[in-house]
Amino acid sequence: MAMLETAADTAHLADDEVQASAPHAVTGYCSFKLGAFELSRDEYFARITWPAKGQTRSHLIPVDAFLRAMMRDVAWGFFYGWVNFDQVIGTRNYYGKVDLYAGTFNGTLKAAGVNYTENFETPLIMATFKAILRDWTNATFDPFAAPEETGSAFGRKNGNNIEAIERSRIATKRMPGLKDDSPLRDDLPVNRQFIDVPQDEPEVHAAEGFEGELHAFNLFKYLSRSDVTWNPSVTSVCKASLFCPTTEEFILPVFHGNDRIEWFLQMSDEIIWDVGDKDDGNPRARITMRAGDICAMPADIRHQGYSTKRSMLMVWENATPNLPQRYESGELKPYPIEF
Protein backbone atom coordinates (compact mmCIF):
# COMPACT_ATOMS: atom_id res chain seq x y z
CA MET A 1 0.00 0.00 0.00
CA ALA A 2 1.62 3.17 -1.18
CA MET A 3 -0.41 5.83 0.55
CA LEU A 4 -0.16 7.73 3.73
CA GLU A 5 -1.83 5.80 6.49
CA THR A 6 -4.67 8.27 6.81
CA ALA A 7 -5.40 8.43 3.09
CA ALA A 8 -6.54 4.87 2.58
CA ASP A 9 -8.47 3.86 5.64
CA THR A 10 -11.82 2.37 4.77
CA ALA A 11 -14.05 3.32 7.66
CA HIS A 12 -16.31 0.30 7.39
CA LEU A 13 -17.09 -2.45 4.96
CA ALA A 14 -20.62 -2.95 3.69
CA ASP A 15 -20.47 -6.71 4.21
CA ASP A 16 -24.24 -6.97 4.66
CA GLU A 17 -24.84 -5.36 1.25
CA VAL A 18 -22.78 -7.90 -0.71
CA GLN A 19 -25.01 -9.77 -3.17
CA ALA A 20 -23.73 -13.33 -3.42
CA SER A 21 -25.51 -16.34 -4.95
CA ALA A 22 -25.64 -19.80 -3.43
CA PRO A 23 -22.62 -21.95 -4.42
CA HIS A 24 -22.96 -23.32 -7.97
CA ALA A 25 -23.98 -26.99 -7.98
CA VAL A 26 -21.08 -28.08 -10.20
CA THR A 27 -18.18 -25.63 -9.67
CA GLY A 28 -18.92 -24.83 -6.02
CA TYR A 29 -18.28 -21.10 -6.47
CA CYS A 30 -20.67 -18.24 -5.68
CA SER A 31 -21.42 -15.54 -8.23
CA PHE A 32 -21.75 -11.88 -7.25
CA LYS A 33 -23.83 -8.90 -8.35
CA LEU A 34 -22.45 -5.38 -8.12
CA GLY A 35 -24.86 -2.85 -9.59
CA ALA A 36 -25.52 -3.98 -13.17
CA PHE A 37 -22.34 -6.07 -13.22
CA GLU A 38 -22.34 -9.79 -12.56
CA LEU A 39 -19.13 -11.60 -11.69
CA SER A 40 -18.79 -15.39 -11.75
CA ARG A 41 -16.04 -17.97 -12.12
CA ASP A 42 -15.69 -21.51 -13.41
CA GLU A 43 -12.79 -23.94 -13.55
CA TYR A 44 -10.65 -21.64 -15.73
CA PHE A 45 -12.18 -18.19 -16.11
CA ALA A 46 -13.59 -15.22 -14.29
CA ARG A 47 -16.62 -13.97 -16.26
CA ILE A 48 -17.88 -10.41 -16.05
CA THR A 49 -21.15 -9.34 -17.68
CA TRP A 50 -22.73 -5.90 -18.10
CA PRO A 51 -25.49 -4.24 -20.12
CA ALA A 52 -24.83 -2.10 -23.21
CA LYS A 53 -26.91 -1.26 -26.30
CA GLY A 54 -29.79 -3.41 -25.03
CA GLN A 55 -27.68 -6.57 -24.81
CA THR A 56 -25.74 -8.38 -22.14
CA ARG A 57 -22.02 -8.07 -22.88
CA SER A 58 -19.41 -10.39 -21.41
CA HIS A 59 -15.69 -10.69 -20.89
CA LEU A 60 -13.56 -13.61 -19.71
CA ILE A 61 -10.24 -13.38 -17.86
CA PRO A 62 -8.12 -16.42 -16.88
CA VAL A 63 -8.96 -16.80 -13.21
CA ASP A 64 -5.33 -16.83 -12.01
CA ALA A 65 -4.71 -13.43 -13.65
CA PHE A 66 -8.04 -12.14 -12.40
CA LEU A 67 -7.34 -13.09 -8.77
CA ARG A 68 -3.83 -11.58 -8.89
CA ALA A 69 -5.28 -8.32 -10.19
CA MET A 70 -8.12 -8.25 -7.66
CA MET A 71 -5.67 -9.03 -4.85
CA ARG A 72 -3.68 -5.87 -5.69
CA ASP A 73 -6.78 -3.70 -6.06
CA VAL A 74 -8.03 -4.84 -2.63
CA ALA A 75 -4.63 -4.64 -0.89
CA TRP A 76 -4.00 -1.16 -2.28
CA GLY A 77 -7.45 0.19 -1.40
CA PHE A 78 -7.99 0.87 -5.16
CA PHE A 79 -4.60 2.66 -5.32
CA TYR A 80 -4.10 5.85 -7.32
CA GLY A 81 -6.15 6.37 -10.49
CA TRP A 82 -6.91 3.48 -12.84
CA VAL A 83 -6.26 -0.17 -12.01
CA ASN A 84 -6.83 -2.07 -15.28
CA PHE A 85 -7.21 -5.81 -14.71
CA ASP A 86 -6.66 -6.16 -18.48
CA GLN A 87 -7.54 -4.16 -21.63
CA VAL A 88 -11.29 -4.25 -20.78
CA ILE A 89 -12.03 -4.46 -17.04
CA GLY A 90 -10.78 -2.18 -14.30
CA THR A 91 -11.44 0.31 -11.51
CA ARG A 92 -10.87 4.03 -11.10
CA ASN A 93 -10.36 5.44 -7.61
CA TYR A 94 -12.14 8.64 -6.60
CA TYR A 95 -11.00 8.23 -2.96
CA GLY A 96 -14.36 7.50 -1.31
CA LYS A 97 -16.07 6.29 -4.46
CA VAL A 98 -14.82 3.90 -7.10
CA ASP A 99 -15.79 3.30 -10.75
CA LEU A 100 -15.93 -0.25 -12.05
CA TYR A 101 -15.74 -0.16 -15.85
CA ALA A 102 -15.84 -2.53 -18.82
CA GLY A 103 -14.33 -1.35 -22.10
CA THR A 104 -14.47 2.33 -21.14
CA PHE A 105 -10.71 2.72 -21.51
CA ASN A 106 -10.44 0.46 -24.56
CA GLY A 107 -10.43 2.58 -27.74
CA THR A 108 -12.31 0.05 -29.88
CA LEU A 109 -15.00 -0.96 -27.37
CA LYS A 110 -15.65 2.65 -26.35
CA ALA A 111 -16.00 3.76 -30.00
CA ALA A 112 -18.51 0.93 -30.52
CA GLY A 113 -20.53 2.08 -27.52
CA VAL A 114 -20.46 -1.34 -25.87
CA ASN A 115 -18.63 -0.12 -22.78
CA TYR A 116 -20.19 0.40 -19.35
CA THR A 117 -19.16 2.22 -16.15
CA GLU A 118 -20.84 2.25 -12.76
CA ASN A 119 -19.84 4.23 -9.69
CA PHE A 120 -19.91 2.61 -6.22
CA GLU A 121 -19.34 3.72 -2.66
CA THR A 122 -15.91 2.40 -1.69
CA PRO A 123 -17.14 0.24 1.25
CA LEU A 124 -19.60 -1.65 -1.02
CA ILE A 125 -17.18 -2.42 -3.86
CA MET A 126 -14.41 -3.25 -1.36
CA ALA A 127 -16.68 -5.63 0.58
CA THR A 128 -17.80 -7.29 -2.66
CA PHE A 129 -14.23 -7.64 -4.00
CA LYS A 130 -13.08 -9.11 -0.69
CA ALA A 131 -15.97 -11.59 -0.72
CA ILE A 132 -15.03 -12.62 -4.27
CA LEU A 133 -11.38 -13.10 -3.28
CA ARG A 134 -12.37 -15.15 -0.25
CA ASP A 135 -14.70 -17.39 -2.26
CA TRP A 136 -12.65 -17.81 -5.43
CA THR A 137 -9.15 -18.27 -3.97
CA ASN A 138 -8.61 -21.98 -3.32
CA ALA A 139 -6.30 -23.49 -0.68
CA THR A 140 -3.72 -24.18 -3.41
CA PHE A 141 -3.32 -20.58 -4.60
CA ASP A 142 -1.67 -17.43 -3.22
CA PRO A 143 -2.61 -14.50 -5.48
CA PHE A 144 0.16 -12.34 -3.95
CA ALA A 145 2.91 -14.77 -4.98
CA ALA A 146 4.81 -15.30 -8.24
CA PRO A 147 3.68 -18.36 -10.26
CA GLU A 148 6.78 -20.42 -9.36
CA GLU A 149 6.01 -19.90 -5.66
CA THR A 150 2.42 -21.06 -5.54
CA GLY A 151 0.01 -23.67 -6.86
CA SER A 152 -2.95 -23.60 -9.21
CA ALA A 153 -5.93 -21.25 -9.23
CA PHE A 154 -7.86 -23.58 -11.56
CA GLY A 155 -10.53 -26.20 -11.02
CA ARG A 156 -13.61 -26.55 -8.84
CA LYS A 157 -13.79 -25.02 -5.39
CA ASN A 158 -11.20 -26.56 -3.12
CA GLY A 159 -10.87 -24.92 0.29
CA ASN A 160 -9.65 -21.37 0.75
CA ASN A 161 -6.51 -19.36 1.54
CA ILE A 162 -7.79 -16.63 3.85
CA GLU A 163 -4.32 -16.17 5.40
CA ALA A 164 -2.79 -15.25 2.03
CA ILE A 165 -5.43 -12.69 1.09
CA GLU A 166 -5.74 -11.09 4.54
CA ARG A 167 -2.09 -10.06 4.92
CA SER A 168 -2.09 -6.84 6.89
CA ARG A 169 -0.94 -3.79 4.98
CA ILE A 170 2.21 -2.00 6.00
CA ALA A 171 1.58 1.60 6.97
CA THR A 172 4.76 3.50 7.71
CA LYS A 173 4.61 6.93 9.35
CA ARG A 174 8.29 7.89 9.09
CA MET A 175 10.58 4.87 8.57
CA PRO A 176 10.34 1.15 9.42
CA GLY A 177 12.06 0.04 12.62
CA LEU A 178 11.50 3.30 14.50
CA LYS A 179 9.68 3.18 17.82
CA ASP A 180 5.90 3.32 17.17
CA ASP A 181 6.40 2.68 13.46
CA SER A 182 6.11 -0.32 11.11
CA PRO A 183 8.39 -3.28 11.96
CA LEU A 184 11.46 -4.61 10.17
CA ARG A 185 11.23 -8.06 8.60
CA ASP A 186 13.72 -10.09 10.65
CA ASP A 187 10.95 -12.63 11.31
CA LEU A 188 10.36 -13.33 7.60
CA PRO A 189 12.62 -15.71 5.62
CA VAL A 190 14.85 -14.46 2.80
CA ASN A 191 13.14 -15.10 -0.55
CA ARG A 192 14.76 -17.90 -2.58
CA GLN A 193 15.70 -15.44 -5.34
CA PHE A 194 17.44 -13.02 -2.95
CA ILE A 195 19.47 -15.68 -1.14
CA ASP A 196 22.73 -13.90 -2.12
CA VAL A 197 21.69 -10.49 -0.71
CA PRO A 198 23.87 -9.45 2.29
CA GLN A 199 21.94 -9.44 5.56
CA ASP A 200 24.24 -7.21 7.65
CA GLU A 201 22.66 -4.22 9.37
CA PRO A 202 24.32 -0.77 9.42
CA GLU A 203 26.37 0.12 12.49
CA VAL A 204 24.67 2.80 14.57
CA HIS A 205 26.95 4.44 17.15
CA ALA A 206 24.78 6.85 19.12
CA ALA A 207 26.51 9.16 21.58
CA GLU A 208 25.46 8.95 25.21
CA GLY A 209 22.07 10.56 25.63
CA PHE A 210 21.11 10.14 21.98
CA GLU A 211 20.28 6.42 22.03
CA GLY A 212 17.32 5.78 19.74
CA GLU A 213 17.61 9.10 17.90
CA LEU A 214 19.89 7.83 15.14
CA HIS A 215 18.22 5.34 12.84
CA ALA A 216 19.35 3.19 9.94
CA PHE A 217 18.45 -0.23 8.57
CA ASN A 218 19.40 -2.50 5.68
CA LEU A 219 16.77 -1.72 3.02
CA PHE A 220 18.01 -4.44 0.65
CA LYS A 221 17.76 -7.00 3.47
CA TYR A 222 14.24 -5.74 4.24
CA LEU A 223 13.25 -6.15 0.58
CA SER A 224 14.93 -9.56 0.29
CA ARG A 225 12.42 -10.73 2.93
CA SER A 226 9.32 -9.37 1.23
CA ASP A 227 6.81 -12.24 1.10
CA VAL A 228 4.69 -10.69 -1.68
CA THR A 229 5.25 -9.47 -5.23
CA TRP A 230 4.20 -6.17 -6.84
CA ASN A 231 3.08 -4.47 -3.62
CA PRO A 232 4.54 -0.97 -3.04
CA SER A 233 5.02 -0.42 0.71
CA VAL A 234 6.19 2.83 2.30
CA THR A 235 9.73 2.88 3.74
CA SER A 236 10.37 6.62 4.09
CA VAL A 237 8.15 9.70 4.40
CA CYS A 238 9.36 13.20 3.53
CA LYS A 239 6.09 15.14 3.84
CA ALA A 240 4.02 13.93 0.80
CA SER A 241 7.03 12.26 -0.82
CA LEU A 242 6.77 8.50 -0.28
CA PHE A 243 9.43 5.91 -1.09
CA CYS A 244 7.47 2.70 -1.70
CA PRO A 245 9.85 -0.11 -2.70
CA THR A 246 8.58 -3.56 -3.63
CA THR A 247 9.89 -6.86 -4.95
CA GLU A 248 8.80 -7.83 -8.43
CA GLU A 249 8.57 -11.20 -10.17
CA PHE A 250 6.65 -12.37 -13.26
CA ILE A 251 4.10 -9.77 -14.47
CA LEU A 252 2.55 -6.80 -12.68
CA PRO A 253 -0.99 -8.21 -12.40
CA VAL A 254 -2.59 -4.91 -13.45
CA PHE A 255 -1.99 -2.23 -16.06
CA HIS A 256 -1.73 0.83 -13.80
CA GLY A 257 -2.89 4.20 -15.12
CA ASN A 258 -1.98 6.79 -12.52
CA ASP A 259 -3.88 10.03 -11.90
CA ARG A 260 -0.51 11.69 -11.17
CA ILE A 261 3.14 11.27 -12.13
CA GLU A 262 5.10 8.55 -10.36
CA TRP A 263 8.76 7.58 -10.68
CA PHE A 264 10.48 4.18 -10.78
CA LEU A 265 14.04 3.52 -9.66
CA GLN A 266 15.32 0.03 -10.42
CA MET A 267 17.36 -1.06 -7.40
CA SER A 268 18.39 -4.50 -8.66
CA ASP A 269 18.15 -6.71 -11.73
CA GLU A 270 15.81 -5.73 -14.58
CA ILE A 271 12.19 -4.90 -15.40
CA ILE A 272 10.65 -4.26 -18.82
CA TRP A 273 7.68 -1.89 -18.84
CA ASP A 274 4.97 -1.89 -21.49
CA VAL A 275 3.61 1.65 -21.65
CA GLY A 276 0.30 2.52 -23.34
CA ASP A 277 -2.09 5.44 -23.69
CA LYS A 278 -4.14 5.77 -20.51
CA ASP A 279 -7.44 6.41 -22.32
CA ASP A 280 -7.44 3.97 -25.25
CA GLY A 281 -4.61 1.53 -24.46
CA ASN A 282 -2.59 2.13 -27.65
CA PRO A 283 1.11 1.18 -27.14
CA ARG A 284 3.48 4.12 -26.63
CA ALA A 285 6.80 2.81 -25.37
CA ARG A 286 8.69 -0.18 -24.07
CA ILE A 287 11.13 0.73 -21.34
CA THR A 288 13.93 -1.51 -20.06
CA MET A 289 15.22 -0.59 -16.61
CA ARG A 290 18.38 -2.05 -15.06
CA ALA A 291 20.00 -1.43 -11.67
CA GLY A 292 20.40 2.32 -11.10
CA ASP A 293 17.99 3.40 -13.84
CA ILE A 294 15.37 5.96 -12.83
CA CYS A 295 12.49 7.22 -14.96
CA ALA A 296 9.13 8.95 -14.75
CA MET A 297 5.79 7.40 -15.58
CA PRO A 298 3.81 10.37 -16.98
CA ALA A 299 0.23 10.99 -15.83
CA ASP A 300 -1.32 10.18 -19.23
CA ILE A 301 -0.10 6.60 -19.64
CA ARG A 302 -0.77 3.12 -18.28
CA HIS A 303 2.06 0.70 -17.53
CA GLN A 304 2.63 -2.99 -16.86
CA GLY A 305 5.99 -4.48 -15.82
CA TYR A 306 7.69 -7.81 -16.54
CA SER A 307 10.41 -9.14 -14.24
CA THR A 308 12.02 -12.55 -14.90
CA LYS A 309 14.10 -12.62 -11.74
CA ARG A 310 12.64 -11.26 -8.53
CA SER A 311 13.92 -7.68 -8.53
CA MET A 312 13.93 -4.67 -6.21
CA LEU A 313 12.00 -1.65 -7.47
CA MET A 314 11.63 1.73 -5.78
CA VAL A 315 8.23 3.25 -6.56
CA TRP A 316 8.23 6.95 -5.69
CA GLU A 317 4.84 8.58 -5.13
CA ASN A 318 3.66 12.10 -4.36
CA ALA A 319 0.65 11.61 -2.09
CA THR A 320 -0.61 15.22 -2.27
CA PRO A 321 -4.43 14.88 -2.40
CA ASN A 322 -5.51 17.40 -5.05
CA LEU A 323 -3.19 16.22 -7.84
CA PRO A 324 -5.75 14.35 -10.03
CA GLN A 325 -7.80 17.51 -10.60
CA ARG A 326 -4.68 19.56 -11.34
CA TYR A 327 -3.53 17.08 -14.00
CA GLU A 328 -7.03 16.68 -15.49
CA SER A 329 -7.59 20.43 -15.73
CA GLY A 330 -4.35 20.85 -17.66
CA GLU A 331 -2.84 23.03 -14.93
CA LEU A 332 -0.09 20.43 -14.65
CA LYS A 333 1.52 18.78 -17.66
CA PRO A 334 1.43 14.95 -17.72
CA TYR A 335 5.23 14.68 -17.78
CA PRO A 336 7.51 16.09 -15.03
CA ILE A 337 10.32 17.92 -16.82
CA GLU A 338 10.86 19.88 -20.02
CA PHE A 339 14.38 20.06 -21.34
Partner 1 sequence: MSSAAIETVFGSLDNYTKGSVEIISGQASHYAFSNIFEVADKSLPYEKVVVGFNLGYVVESIRAEGQSPWYTAAHDEFAIVMDGEVRVDFLKLDAPLKAGEGTHLAGEIPAGTPMGYVLLKRGHQCLLPVGTAYRFEASRPGVILQQTIKGPLSVEKWADICFK
**What part of residues 69-88 is at the interface with partner 1 (CB under 8 A)?**
none
**Is 107 an interacting residue with respect to partner 1 (CB under 8 A)?**
no
Residue 208 beta carbon to partner 1: minimum distance, rounded to whole angstroms:
9
The nearer residue to partner 1, 188 or 294, going by C-beta atoms, is 294
Q: Rounded to whole angstroms, what are the CA distances from 211 to 5, 178, 179, 186, 260?
A: 27, 12, 12, 21, 40
Among 54, 213, 329, 331, binds partner 1 (CB under 8 A): 213
Residue 2 beta carbon to partner 1: minimum distance, rounded to whole angstroms:
13
User: Which residues in 168-197 contact partner 1 (CB under 8 A)?
Assistant: 174-175, 178, 192-197
**Is 57 an interacting residue with respect to partner 1 (CB under 8 A)?**
no
Rounded to an integer, what distance in angstroms lies between the CA atom of residue 54 and that of residue 73? 30
**Is 112 an interacting residue with respect to partner 1 (CB under 8 A)?**
no
Q: Are 184 and 222 in contact (CB under 8 A)?
A: yes
User: Which residues in 281-310 contact partner 1 (CB under 8 A)?
Assistant: 282-298, 309
Secondary structure of 220-260 in HEC code, one letter for each residue: HHHHHCCCCCCCCCCCEEECCEEEEEEEEEEECCCEEECCC
The nearer residue to partner 1, 63 or 275, going by C-beta atoms, is 275
CB atoms within 10 A of CB 290: 11
Q: Are 185 and 225 in contact (CB under 8 A)?
A: yes
Residue 227 beta carbon to partner 1: minimum distance, rounded to whole angstroms:
17
The nearer residue to partner 1, 128 or 266, going by C-beta atoms, is 266
**Is 316 an interacting residue with respect to partner 1 (CB under 8 A)?**
yes
Strand partners, 238: 241
Rounded to an integer, what distance in angstroms lies between the CA atom of residue 270 and that of residue 305? 10
Residue 233 beta carbon to partner 1: minimum distance, rounded to whole angstroms:
14
Chain centroid to Cα 4, Å, comes to 15
Among 37, 78, 105, 243, binds partner 1 (CB under 8 A): 243
Q: Cα 90–287–142 angle (5° rounding)?
A: 45
Residue 94 beta carbon to partner 1: minimum distance, rounded to whole angstroms:
21
Residue 123 beta carbon to partner 1: minimum distance, rounded to whole angstroms:
31
**Is 53 an interacting residue with respect to partner 1 (CB under 8 A)?**
no
User: Which residues in 9-38 contact partner 1 (CB under 8 A)?
Assistant: none
* Pairing outcome for strands 301-318 and 270-277: antiparallel
